[in-house]
Amino acid sequence: MATTNATIGFSSDVTDSSLSVSNSTQLNTAGTTTGVNTMTSVTKVLASTNQVDLITAGSVSTTHAYVYINNPSVDETKYFAVTIGNAGAGSPTDTEEIGRLYAGDFMWMPWDVDDDICVTPSSSDDMTVEYMVFS
Amino acid sequence: MATTATLTLASTDIAGDPVSVSKVATLTKAGTLNDLDQSIGLNRVHLRSTTEKVLLAANAEGNNLAAKVYMINKSEDASLYITVKINAQTTGKLYGGDFMFIPWSQTDTSASIKVAATNWTSSTGDIPVEYALFHEDTDFLTNA
């Protein structure tokens, strides 16, 4: 067992009274206080607008994982559409779009490892995507 | 008017060398450098049912616009979880203390974010869930 901590913070002055939130948690296996012990960290450069099966359910042996995906681009017009669904299809179809990661955006979410996580670049120019999986 | 989100991941022993990742994002409108300028603020609900509930109702006007969702399971019981879905697709389970931060494409009105206290029973107690939405569209509706 390893100890891995995740901390998130927000600072917003969108509302008249500013909002500040901070929370930390230890990344544990499903329903326990035992820390996750496996980490994958990948950087890929994609050069087409084809959907890519980025993180396959078959690549993780547990039923609970944490996923971090980052779009490090500095071009605000370039994004990845992130979808989930259709495990193991290789060339996924009929997936649910979670959202779009614009330049500089990241996402962090638990993953039930039932379905693949895919990305579709908005441009055929080289676009770098980074991801980590903890399980 | 800006909103920043910061994520830090740190471990001294999940790999042979310490791992530390820190990422800061300024939340912007879709495809621009303009800041997101709307929010529903921080909300708290107590889930006490295994029945699926709509936490954030999708608005088709939000399609192709930027929106970010933050959600945390504030239960102190590591075994208590909520199942999170978008439309009919499960994305994952938030166990006690877990949080998530995702972009949200409201591709259509079916793309609502739903939660269920899947292993709740009358003896487990409520599962407190806190959430926030930052977005850009001008006519966002939520049933929260």
Q: Which three-class secondary structure string do you get for chain B?
A: CCEEEEEEEEECCCCCCCEEEEEEEECECCCCCCECCEEEEEEEEEECCCCCEEEECCCHHHCCCCEEEEEEECCCCCCCEEEEEECCEEEEEEECCCEEEEECCCCCCCCCEEEECCCCCCCCCCEEEEEEEEECCCCCCCCC
The whole domain housing B88 covers 28-135
Considering Cα of A128, then B39, then A99, then A63, what sign does the dihedral take?
Answer: positive
Which of B38, B88, B102 lies nearest to residue A99, judging by beta carbons?
B102
What is the total count of domains within chain B?
1
Residue B92: its chain A contacts at CB < 8 A?
64-65, 109-112
Asked if A33's CB is within 8 angstroms of B4's CB, the reply is no
**Which residues constitute the domain of residue A25?**
1-35
- The CATH number of the domain holding residue B74 is 2.60.120.10
Residues 63..102 of A with a Cβ closer than 8 Å to B: which? 64-66, 68, 70, 76-77, 79, 81-82, 84-85, 95-102
A118 in contact with B at a CB cutoff of 8 Å? Answer: no
CATH number of the domain to which A90 belongs: 2.60.120.10
ipTM above threshold 0.90:
yes
Q: Would residue B126 count as lying in a domain?
A: yes
pTM for the whole structure: 0.95
pLDDT for position A88: 55
Same domain, A90 and A53: yes
- Average pLDDT (B100-113) is 93
Q: A28 and A79: one domain?
A: no
Size of interface A-B (CB pairs under 8 A): 191
- Residue A8 with chain B: CB contacts under 8 Å: 5-8, 70, 99, 101
Q: Does B142 score more than 60 pLDDT?
A: no
Residues B30-53: pLDDT tens digits?
999 999 999 999 999 999 999 999
In whole angstroms, how far apart are CA A89 and each of A48, A94, A133, B54?
19, 10, 20, 29
Domain count, chain A: 2
Chain-chain contact of B13 with A2 (C-beta, under 8 angstroms) = yes
- Domain annotation covers residue B19: no
Q: Which pLDDT score is estimated for A22? A: 97
Q: Are residues A73 and A117 in the same domain?
A: yes
